[in-house]
Structure 1
Amino acid sequence: MIPYPNISPEIVKIGPLSIRWYGLMYLIGFICSYLIVKREIKRRGLRVEKDFLENLYFYLILGLLLGARLGYVIFYNLPYYINHPLEVFAIWQGGMSFHGGLIGVIVSAWLFTKAKKFDFFTLTDMLVLTAPIGLGLGRIGNFINGELYGRITDVPWAMVFPEGGPLPRHPSQLYEAALEGFALFVILWFLKDKFNRSGIVSSLFLILYGLFRFFVEFFREPDPQIGYILGIFTMGQVLCSIMIVSGSGLLFYRSRK
């Protein structure tokens, strides 16, 4: 067993205000995404208006936050929020869904490209190159927070998480950081110039993320308010299955177009 490092989630605290590792990770992720997309636009010779990226990321961040929160409410705890509707807005209490955030980003990107007359899949192909950076850093933030830990195990690298009881568990946040973050970034970056049709890289992101997350969910503790679905699967795996099917359909469609 490996001791849990027990890093303080707060980098610095001044009175009631604090800077947390989790928030910093997402900030770094958005900065990296902005810089990479800016580089790709220039490298590909795409012509955009002056404030294109600034306006784009404003809507993407808004769509991500709204989608992630509503996704958690709908997918993971709808009965509770029906009885406590005002707590839908209490995002400081936690509760964000990747799949909801993904839907929010897709809707924001589609509306933005439609307004700007920019090809939707050209944009999403650039955005998905950067998504694994934020995903990987976010999982490291989850690890520092001691949340979203894994199932009980006796593997040599198991850890006892402060909120996970006395038994050792899988550090599943680090598994996700390695697969959804590092591995997914390397694969997509290698493939980004291999196709002459837009949308292929976007479809591969949906498929590969879905597969990686589906696999890691077997090591991650399911959400207590839901538990297992059909006795073996988690809600995350159900949503990832939809991602895999959607990505496969998109790959078929864009490959034939």
Structure 2
Amino acid sequence: MVALEIFGISIYWYGIFYLLSFVLSYLFLYSLARSNLLDNYGKVKNLLKNNLDDIAFYIILGVLLGGRLGYVIFYNQSIIFNNIWEIFFIWQGGMAFVGGVIGVFLSMLYIKSKYKLSYKDFYFLIDLIVIVVPLGIFFGRIGNFLNQELFGKTIDEIGSSILYQNQELLEAINLIYIYETVDQEKRLNTNFLESFGEGLLLFLIFIVIFWKKLISGKYKVGLISGLFLLLYGIIRFIIEFGRDTTQVNYILGFTSSQYFMIIFIILGFMILFGFDKMEKKF
């Protein structure tokens, strides 16, 4: 959905929110690098202080290329055959989170090689990046909402007594919403659920845990990454049940995204409960 036009150029809400999330994430890492919180991780701190622009460039590149290609490959292969140039129209929406994760990880591997980071510094840097990932999710889901995409099932399809009994309240806070570009049905606003659950809530949890563990000297490398994969996977897996059937592909009773979330959950457990052994090899 177009937010505004400048000299005939359409600016989409989706692009504005992506830009906002990048700016806020940059400012967060910039401030963190200039605090004393990272004093025990000197190389990472110096890297963020002196080369944050370079790191930000490769991460943004990973997000955009990975997210867009992931969307096309996993969810909308028709773009390749109908209008292949549309792959680059990221401002119109259509980004796959899983693809973005893969893109960022590949970017981080390049950064590790370029700056010759040890494995411990590499995974700690990933933890720092992961802290701000929920900010991108928060604003990205709002962009999805404004684009009138990724909408939820109708309340009649869900048939939950909780929704019916609290319908007036849920409508007041837009958790039940009519997507007018789709139809006139009252639907579960899965965009807002994901924006809060996968975005704002996880960001606040990570900030509190990271700050407390780092201050106490008990922070374990990989903690935030493992928690993210585990918690995001669980939340997204549950919310997927509320997505409209025209918006998802079902395979043996689960959406394709839910299978990715199962992988996330397994990886999260492996990192949280196996990283201590790995850390000894660093």
- Give TM-score, length-normalised by structure 1: 0.87
Range moving further from structure 2, 111-120 or 133-142: 111-120
Higher relative contact order (CA 8 A, sep 6+): 1
Q: Which residue does the alignment assign to 1:30?
A: 22
Q: Deviations over 1:169-225 (max 9, x none)?
A: 11110000110111101111111142432111111111111111111111122454x
Match of 2:190 in 1: 172
> For 1:50-129, what aligned pairs fall within 5 Å after superposition?
51-78=50-77, 80-81=78-79, 83-84=81-82, 86-87=84-85, 89-92=87-90, 94-118=93-117, 119-129=121-131
Letter in 2 for 1:205: F
Instruction: Name stretches of at least 5 consecutive residues in structure 1 with no aligned partner.
Output: 1-8
Q: Which ranges of structure 2 fall in alignment gaps of 5 or more residues?
A: 157-162
Deviation at 1:124, TM superposition (A): 1.0
- Retained in 1: the 8 A contact 2:152–2:188? yes
Does the CA contact (< 8 Å) of 2:93 and 2:144 recur in 1? no
Separation in 1, partners of 2:13, 2:94: 17
- The 2-side partners of 1:41 and 1:204 are apart by 22
Cα distance in 1 between the residues matched to 2:177 and 2:79 = 33
Counterpart of 1:44 (choices 31, 38, 41) is: 38
Contact 1:149 1:164 in 2 (8 A): no
Secondary structure of 1:68's aligned partner: helix
When the two chains are superposed, the root-mean-square deviation of aligned CA atoms in Å is 2.1
1:227 maps to amino acid: N
Mean CA deviation greater in 100-109 or 32-41 = 32-41
Q: Is the 8 A contact 2:79 2:86 kept in 1?
A: yes
Counterpart residue number, 2:250: 228
* Partners of 2:72 and 2:87 within 8 A in 1: no
**How far apart, in 2, do the equivalents of 1:237 and 1:39 lie?**
35
Once the two structures are TM-superposed, the CA of residue 166 in structure 1 deviates from its matched residue by 2.6
Tell me by how many angstroms 1:88 deviates: 6.0
Answer whether contact 2:80 2:87 (CA < 8 A) is retained: no
1:20 to 12, 22, 30: 12
How many residue pairs were aligned? 246
Q: Shift in Å at residue 15 of structure 1? A: 4.3
Distance 1:82 1:30 in 2: 28
Amino acid in structure 1 at the alignment position of 2:106:
V
Equivalences for 1:95-244 in 2 at 5 Å?
95-118=94-117, 119-154=121-156, 155=163, 156=167, 157=171, 158-192=176-210, 193-194=212-213, 195-222=218-245, 224=247, 227-231=249-253, 233-244=254-265
Is the 2:151–2:187 Cα contact (8 Å) retained in structure 1? yes
Following superposition, the deviation at residue 20 of structure 1 comes to 2.6
Shift of 1:87: 4.5
- Describe the SS at the equivalent of 1:218: helix
Comparing 202-211 and 90-99, the one that deviates more:
90-99
TM-score by length of 2: 0.80
